[in-house]
Amino acid sequence: MKLDRLTRQAALALVALATLLAGCTTYVSTQVTAFSDWSGSDAVRSYAFTRTPDQRNSLEQATYERIVASELAAHAFRETDERDAHYLVALAYGMRSDTVTVAQPVYYYSAWPGPYYWGRPFDPWGPWGPWGPYPASYVNQSYPVFTHLLGIRITDRATGKELYNVTARNTDEQSSLIAAMPYLARSAMADFPMGNGVVRTVKLPVDGHGSVPNEVAAGSAAPPQPASGAKTVE
């Protein structure tokens, strides 16, 4: 009976821990690399998006441009016609799939009967449970992972000189690039302009719906949102 009480108390503790962890804020970590020759002396940063032949008339391209435009606006960039633009902004993006293999512990059911109640379907205190006296066996499990990439290149329209080139990259178990794009865009423009050759990790909180808080919906027109939610890790 005493063991049963301890088991129930431990189970309640595990449930409470799981509930606590479920309520914790999770983050998306993105590695950002910047190359910069930015002077920052202009008061009005007018720009226009430039596209490759494959990106012209692309709905996907237009969707990503709206997401990036929101982040650019937070840094005083104003989109205009290409003839009037001081800067040209080019986007590059893509996704790559990989497989990772992880050694996972395996615990076995105990067939031991009797007074210690180790004959139940699974007992964490049993001889082969996670808190039992015998070590677990391990098996290799493979999982798909997806690397999402966004590059933003800013050039001077008049001279063609490259002024800022930033790349944001993150990895997730989800394959959707559109779902990753708000995190990539906000991370890429966090702390703009970063120094030349700077590599940083930016952490953005995820809300309960799996999106960046206050992020605009893809393809919608909305006032710019500041990147204040970003945490930069040197």
pLDDT at residue 109 in the model: 52
Tokens 């990259």 correspond to: 169
In this model, does residue 116 exceed pLDDT 50?
no
Output the domain CATH number for residue 207: 3.30.160
In this model, does residue 219 exceed pLDDT 50?
no
Across the chain, mean pLDDT equals 76
Nearest to 123 by CA among 104, 133, 17, 15: 133
The Cα 41–Cα 43 span in angstroms is 7
Q: Is residue 110 part of a domain?
A: no
Q: Is residue 217 part of a domain?
A: yes
Q: Is residue 9 part of a domain?
A: no
Q: Is residue 122 part of a domain?
A: no
Q: What is the DSSP string of 47-106?
A: EEEE--TTTTT-HHHHHHHHHHHHHHHTTTEEE--GGG-SEEEEEEEEEEEEEEEEEEEE
Q: Is residue 118 part of a domain?
A: no
Q: Is residue 134 part of a domain?
A: no
**7-21, 89-103, 173-187, 206-220: least confidently modelled range:** 7-21
Instruction: Select the highest-mean-pLDDT range: 101-105, 109-113, 146-150.
Output: 146-150
Q: Is residue 213 part of a domain?
A: yes
Q: Is residue 3 part of a domain?
A: no
Number of independent structural domains in the chain: 1
- Do you find a cis peptide bond into 121, omega within 30 degrees of 0? no
Sequence-distant (≥ 6) Cβ neighbours of residue 195 within 8 angstroms: 34, 36
Domain that holds residue 39: 25-98+150-233
The Cα 173–Cα 71 span in angstroms is 25
